[in-house]
Structure 1
Amino acid sequence: MILTESAYRPLPSVDAILRNHEVLGLLENFPRSVITNITRDVLTEARFSIKNGGESQSLNQLTAQIADRARTISQNWPNVVINATGVILHTNLGRSPLSQRTTEAATTSASLYSDVELSLSTGKRGNRNTHISNLIAQVTESKTGIAVNNNAAGVLLTLAAIAGENQLKNEVIVSRGESVEIGGGFRIPDVMRQSGATLVEVGTTNRTYSSDYESAINSQTAAILKVHPSNFVVDGFTHAPDLKEIVAVGKRHGVPVLNDLGSGCLIDTRKYGLKQEPQVQSSISDGATLTLFSGDKLIGGPQAGLIAGEQKWVDLVSKHPLARAVRIDKVTLSAISATLVAYLTGTYEKEIPIWTMISLSESNLSDRAEKWRSKTGVGTVERSRSTIGGGSLPGQTLPTSVLSIAPSGKVQDFVRALRESPVAVVARIENNRVILDPRTVLPDQDDAVIEAIKFALNKSE
């Protein structure tokens, strides 16, 4: 259908909307240019809707949209949500909530001046890496370390410094079984290419031996890179040499071994009934030249990339020009430092939320799920499993108790109502039931979960 200009005539002009009393009220808090731009966007969408068969909107409808957009754009973001999915490291929800010690350190660093690059003893310029380097060394039992803005940046920086296009040697050996892609399209071959290094794949997807690495070493070999495959798992007819074997090959030929642990972990996860996630300390003691891992995920801190290892190689990496581009900011530096202190003092299980969640007893979880049920009068308490998430400990789960709700209406409508409650609650759907897992809900959020369930029940009536 061909529309004439008359179809759009009911829409008010930009000037007419800006004279509306509700929009005039917005001008008390926003520059006129901001409200004008929002108004134009809303009118453009209204015209597009009419063009596609929609009805013309009234002045009140348009001004309501404008006011809503102005409020939305000016509010703090991201919005707080309650994670009731049972996925501890939920990437879409920001992964690790930070400890109180960490948030206090970050707040102080953000709101006040600090000695981030000042030596208080000499009054001269200091090195922002000094404190974090000492902390990394103490916690990981390495010689030294540095922090960058995330682990992907750490991998890129390390490869560029050791095997980049300006280096005399630029080949890096990787097992085909570890030349993987993880979340967000992060591919090892692509990162290698961006760093200027040349990828040399050895072995096969399912079987690689130390002799494969050794056979690939030549005069152009700059490093051997071992990569944790994240949540990519190959089972069955497989073989991969352990780190000690690869290190032995590297030492025989004077080639550094870089160990990208991805998530990384500082404690033995077997104490919680989980498989062992590779520990940073083990990588160091097994002889890796440099060990790279994330500051969030199983470390439970802010997004950061940590590099631990031998002084010579850490110095080489930290002095590369790219180090400035991936430098960690003062707030994150304060936050990751405070997080590592909890491991240094052995208080991580009490302080760091993800380890508090992982260590919760089954009786605690059952009692909280039952409290939700009794306070809302809906659902049943059932046994289930919580997952780790974030590409860490793939396939590993923990026993839990959940509140399982069979809504009277559509399940999707109920979970949407939970997200639209005064404090948004994110649940999961299983077998056409809404599942709320207390493991990933902070204890002081229980009342908000109860109110959100009541809100969703009222909305579905």
Structure 2
Amino acid sequence: MTNSDTNALLRSIPATDVLLNAPWAAEFSGRLGREQVKKIIAEALGEIRRELCGDVRVSLPVDELVVSRATSLLRLRASSTLKSVVNATGVVIHTNLGRAPLADEALAAVNAIAGTYSTLEYSPEQGGRGGRNEHVEWSLCRMTGAEAALVVNNNAAAVLLALSATASGREVIVSSGELVEIGDSFRIPEILSFSGAKMRAVGCTNSTRTQDYRDAITENTAVLLKVHPSNYRIEGFVKSTSREELAELASERGLIFMEDLGSGLLCPLGVAFANRERSVRECLEAGSGIVTFSGDKLLGGPQIGVIAGSKNLIDKMKKHQLLRALRADKMTLAAFDATLRLYLAGRQGEIPVIRMIETDKSALLEQARRLCRILKRGAAQRGAGDFAVSVVETEDAIGGGSFPTDMLPGFGVGIRSACFSAETLAAGLRTAPVPVIPAIREGCVILHVRTLLTGDEQLIASAFLKFFMPAKPALPAARA
């Protein structure tokens, strides 16, 4: 474009105040406030001016471009970026998608407590201050066999508090093969350092013996630490020291044996390979003095970290100044208490994570067939013959660092198109009002049914039809 063309386009951009008074801006003023809408419109106009000055060609008339850009930006700012999604990935405990969906009773408990005042730190019986930990400690002790228990905001915080209270300024002995990183921020060496403890790694990556721990103990040693390997496995020649051996050594030398279990398994799971994972109760019975674990992984509750074990050690942590910075809020405690009570009542099958893991293949096949029929029916109604929809076998994962090499056989629905790549199909599903998050395998979009919740099939159908099979224009009416 010539300079005169650019200047003409720039002059044709409406003023911010003119746009602010347009009918389409009124809706956003009610949701964001007039002043914020004005700033967002100005931001959109600034983007367009920079593009025009940079000789970027525009495909729309400037007035249409301005309205399109401003409304898109306003819609983005007016909606929360934290929203519900459909998890069709087949990963049950999906960290990026919020891990464990809560059971209905946990949701009801949160709803009942969130909008009111509560007994969070108040005892009606005593007419004075109470403790927030008391709302869940009894249930935790019954489910785990622990003498005492304490909750904080996640398992990283649980490990940090436990080490800070028991080993600050002293040594913690841990196997070199257990210096793991979980996600992109939780590293055992860094947590140890931050707690004030001094790490002493023993053994090799694939082999650590009891004698390695014994030889490393000094007068400054406080804790023998065992860490769950979480999302990785070493195969081949591997030797590790059992918790029973470490518990015996710790008792012999007057040390604390602490175990970071990661996922908080409270009861047996109905899948064949799960018997390799020890429950919290089994770890404590084997001699662990302290066990830390997450509430939102295998346990199936909200994000919370639990420290269970010896009463004298837990009491020390309850008095630690760090606890106040790590404590859980009232809604988390309400959800966690309700989840624990489902376990106590033997109703853990009502917890979504447990239900998904234990669903058998025959039920998944029927669910996949039903979803396939729904999508095929929608395609037929829209005359979209270029989509191939079929039931496919899948391999699902528990996720959350649990059983990383073990897969759950399942079923899903595969979608292929002669007009769209799998990446384009997946991107379209992800941009639905309720994003649908699928998997892609060998050029095919896969919708795993194991991780679908009630109502998700209809959301998938809506996203599928809206983004890939727009309604055909109506034919002209026949002449009389």
TM-score, scaled to structure 2: 0.89
2:292 match: secondary structure: strand
Give runs of aligned pairs for residues 31-70 of structure 1, distance below 5 A: 31-50=33-52, 52-55=54-57, 58-70=62-74
Q: Distance in 1 between matches of 2:131 and 2:303?
A: 21
**1:272 Cα deviation after fit:** 4.6
Q: Distance in 2 between matches of 1:456 and 1:214?
A: 63
1:43 shift after superposition: 3.0
Matched, 1:75 2:79: yes
SS of the counterpart of 1:303?
coil
Contact 1:360 1:439 in 2 (8 A): yes
- Counterpart of 2:154 in structure 1 is 150
Paired position in structure 2 for 1:362: 361
Alpha-carbon distance between aligned partners in 2 of 1:215 and 1:114, rounded to the nearest angstrom: 52
The 3-state SS of whatever aligns with 1:154 is helix
Shift of 1:120: 1.5
Report whether the alignment pairs 1:247 with 2:257. no
Shift of 1:131: 2.5
Q: Secondary structure of the residue that 2:199 maps to in structure 1?
A: strand
SS in 2 for 1:225: strand
Match of 1:399 in 2: 409
C-alpha contact 1:275 1:396 (8 A) present in aligned 2 = no
Deviation digits for residues 197-231 of structure 1 (CA, Å, limit 9, x no counterpart):
11111111110011111111111112111111111
Q: Tell me which residue corresponds to 1:100.
A: 104
Larger radius of gyration: 2
Contact 2:233–2:405 at 8 Å: present in 1 too? Answer: no
Provide the residue aligned with 2:185 in structure 1.
185
Between the aligned partners of 2:279 and 2:53, the Cα distance in structure 1 is 59
Q: What RMSD over aligned residues (CA atoms) do the two structures have, in Å?
A: 2.4
2:370 counterpart letter in structure 1 = K
Provide the rounded CA distance (Å) in 2 between the counterparts of 1:253 and 1:112. Answer: 50
Q: Deviations over 1:42-91 (max 9, x none)?
A: 23333443454423672443333333333333334522211111111111
Pairing 1:448–2:452 present: no
CA distance in structure 2 between the partners assigned to 1:90 and 1:98 by the alignment:
13
The within-5 A match list for 1:326-365 is 326-349=326-349, 351-365=350-364
Mapping for residues 355-434 of structure 1, pairs under 5 Å: 355-377=354-376, 378-408=388-418, 409-434=420-445
1:3-58 Cα distance to aligned partner (Å, 9 max, x none): 89948555444444434443355434433331232123323333443454423672
Q: Secondary structure of the equivalent of 1:113?
A: coil
The residue type equivalent to 2:101 in the other structure is P
Q: Give runs of aligned pairs for residues 10-21 of structure 1, distance below 5 A.
A: 10-21=12-23
Q: CA deviation at 1:386?
A: 0.9
> Within 2, Cα distance between the matches of 1:453 and 1:120?
53
Matching residue's letter, 1:129: N
Give the SS at the match of 1:401.
strand
Q: State the one-letter code of the partner of 2:319.
A: K
Cα 1:421–1:19 change in 2 (3 A) is: closer
1:279 alignment counterpart: 279
Aligned pair partner of 1:439 in 440, 445, 450: 450
Q: Cα deviations across residues 374-433 of structure 1 (Å, max 9, x unaligned)?
A: 232242222221111121111111111221222222111111222233433211100111
1:308 aligns with 2:295: no
Following superposition, the deviation at residue 243 of structure 1 comes to 0.4
SS in 1 for 2:213: helix
Deviation by residue 1:266-306 (Cα, 9 ceiling, x = unmatched) = 12236454452231111110111110000001110110001
Partner-residue secondary structure (3-state), 2:359: coil
> Are 2:168 and 1:164 aligned?
yes
Maintained 8 Å contact 1:261/1:292: yes
Instruction: Quote the residue 1:235 is aligned against.
Output: 235
Supply the AA of the counterpart residue of 1:451. S
Counterpart of 2:301 in structure 1: which amino acid? G
How far, CA to CA, are the matches of 2:2 and 2:181 in structure 1? 48
Q: Which moved more, 1:447-456 or 1:130-139?
A: 447-456
Secondary structure of the corresponding residue to residue 236 of structure 1: coil
1:309-359 CA deviation, whole Å, 9 max, x = no partner?
01100011121111000010011011111111111111101x100111111
Distance in 2 of aligned mates of 1:212 and 1:282: 24
Distance 1:26 1:456 in 2: 25
Call closer, same or farther: CA 1:237–1:52 in 2, change over 3 Å.
farther
1:279 alignment partner AA? S
Q: Is the 8 A contact 1:288 1:309 kept in 2?
A: yes
Q: Percent identity between the aligned chains?
A: 36
For structure 1, which segment, 370-379 or 266-275, has the greater mean C-alpha deviation from structure 2 after superposition? 266-275
More off after superposition, 415-424 vs 399-408 = 415-424
Counterpart code for 1:37: K
In structure 2, the partner of 1:30 is 32
For residues 465 and 31 of structure 2, what CA distance do their matches in structure 1 show? 35
Aligned counterparts of 2:249 and 2:75: Cα–Cα separation in 1? 61
Q: Secondary structure at the match of 1:436?
A: strand
Query: Partner of 1:417: helix, strand, or coil?
Result: helix
Change (3 A) 1:452 1:14: closer
Distance verdict in 2 for CA 1:116–1:457, change over 3 Å: same
Q: Which whole-Å deviations, capped at 9, do the CAs of 1:123-148 have from their partners, x for residues lacking one?
A: 11111111311111111111110110
Amino acid paired to 1:27: S
Are 2:13 and 2:66, in contact at CA under 8 Å, matched by a contact in 1? no
Cα 1:139–1:2, aligned 2, differ >3 Å: closer, same or farther? Answer: farther
Letter of the structure 1 residue corresponding to residue 351 of structure 2? I
Does the residue aligned with 1:207 lie in a helix, a strand or coil? coil
| Contact 2:172–2:222, Cα closer than 8 Å, also in 1 | yes
Alignment check: 8 A CA contact 2:271 2:358 kept: no
Q: Cα gap change, 1:201/1:371 in structure 2, threshold over 3 Å: closer, same or farther?
A: same
Number of corresponding residues:
456
